[in-house]
């Protein structure tokens, strides 16, 4: 997913979920060391993956993103809940997300 | 007049660790989604899925159990499991049938874990978001637990001793166009042959019928 498409997609998605236009965006650029496993708790927000990382496994309650994982029929770009990011390679990897944090009560 | 309808989605699972995404199309006339039901079953029956020798071994043990239930209760695991392993066809289906046979001849107070294979999550497009998460078991292994009327000739099965299936109650607006679902297989990746099975997801919803 490109950053431009993500920025087009996010307002519609936030509206679908019943939140107002009052939300925050953060661009998150994670740097993972070789074989590093990182957990992010995103129960009240969601993360949109931009720029598909290679040799990285992103697993959450919503699905999985791993270009090398063959036992799935779909890859997920929108992640919520406990997100586990694993660098499967032996060099550092960059993973970029747009973090969407709704601030208001649902209508 | 409000009427309940159901949409059935079948998922074919053939790999350990398989992650299957699916969508359930909700009709425009759906008022709200009221229940979710899950079930799982093996993809093929036992005789179609395994070699003739394994079927013969299981059949021989069944015959022994019918004639001499007490001795067979002790003999079943040793004979059948050893034969199945020697034949190198110890698939999940063979083991399940042998286990089921053993349970028929064992005491009613023996407790066995049901085969848990994975879980289903459902997400609405609307504000309820992720509204359901449920586990899938391929069978209820303890359907005759504590029932002393069970004999080798009249074993406890889901058809005779099972309870009525009940849906998990949910309350999600029907205006969501689709439900997005994800199924994760939780079988161990190594150690045994993974089962090939089908998961059924039943989505119950309410609709208004104006004309009969």
pLDDT tens by residue, A1-23: 888 999 999 999 888 888 878 88
What's phi and psi for B29, nearest 5 deg? -85, 5
Domain spans in chain B, listed from the N-terminal domain onward? 2-208
A99 and B CB contact within 8 Å: no
Q: Which chain B residue's Cα is nearest to A81?
A: B130
Which residues face B137 on adjacent strands?
Answer: B116
What pLDDT does residue B74 have?
53
pTM assigned to the model: 0.73
Could you give the CA distance from residue A9 to residue B186 in angstroms, rounded to a whole number? 32
Of residues A95 and B112, more confidently modeled: A95
pLDDT tens string A11-68:
998 888 888 788 899 999 999 999 999 999 988 888 999 989 999 999 998 889 999 9
Could you give the CA distance from residue B161 to residue B12 in angstroms, rounded to a whole number? 27
* Angle A79-A82-A83 from CA coordinates, rounded to 5°: 55
Query: Is B166 exposed, middle or buried (CB count within 10 Å of its CB: 0-12, 13-18, 19+)?
Result: exposed
Confidence of residue B58 (pLDDT cuts 50, 70, 90): low
Contacting residues of B for A106, CB less than 8 Å apart: 127
Contacting residues of B for A13, CB less than 8 Å apart: none
How far separated are the first and last CA of chain B, in Å rounded? Answer: 9
| Average pLDDT score over residue span B189-203 | 81
Q: Please give the domain boundaries of chain A with CATH numbers for all domains.
A: 3-102 (2.60.120)
What is the nearest CA distance from B20 to chain A, expressed in angstroms? 6
| Average pLDDT score over residue span B139-143 | 81
Contacting residues of B for A72, CB less than 8 Å apart: 18-21
| Average pLDDT score over residue span B144-172 | 81
């Amino acid at each position: 997913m490109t950053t431009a498409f993500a920025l087009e997609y996010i307002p519609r998605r936030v509206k679908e979920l019943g939140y107002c236009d009052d939300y925050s965006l953060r661009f998150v650029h994670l740097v993972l060391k070789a074989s590093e496993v990182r957990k992010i708790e995103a129960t009240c927000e969601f993360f949109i993956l931009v720029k598909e990382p290679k040799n990285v496994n992103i697993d959450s309650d919503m699905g999985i993103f791993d270009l090398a994982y063959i036992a799935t029929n779909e890859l997920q770009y929108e992640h919520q809940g406990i997100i586990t990011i694993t660098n499967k390679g032996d060099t550092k990897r960059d993973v970029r997300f747009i973090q969407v944090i709704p601030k208001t009560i649902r209508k | 007049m409000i009427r309940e309808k159901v949409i059935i989605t079948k998922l074919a699972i053939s790999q350990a660790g398989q992650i299957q995404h699916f969508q359930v199309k909700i009709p425009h006339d759906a008022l709200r989604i009221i229940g979710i039901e899950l079930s799982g079953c093996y993809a093929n029956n036992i005789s179609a899925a395994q070699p003739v020798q394994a079927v013969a071994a299981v059949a021989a043990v069944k015959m022994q159990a019918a004639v001499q239930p007490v001795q067979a209760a002790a003999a079943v695991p040793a004979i059948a499991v050893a034969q199945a392993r020697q034949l190198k066809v110890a698939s999940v289906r063979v083991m399940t049938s042998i286990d089921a046979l053993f349970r028929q001849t064992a005491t009613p107070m023996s407790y066995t874990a049901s085969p848990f294979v994975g879980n289903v999550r459902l997400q609405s497009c609307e504000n309820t978001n992720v509204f359901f998460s449920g586990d899938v078991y391929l069978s209820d292994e303890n359907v005759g637990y504590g029932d002393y009327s069970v004999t080798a000739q009249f074993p406890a099965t889901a058809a005779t001793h099972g309870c009525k299936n009940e849906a998990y109650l949910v309350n999600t607006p029907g205006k969501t166009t689709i439900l997005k679902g994800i199924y994760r297989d939780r079988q161990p990746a190594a150690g045994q042959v993974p089962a090939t099975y089908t998961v059924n997801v039943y989505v119950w919803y309410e609709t208004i019928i104006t004309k009969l």
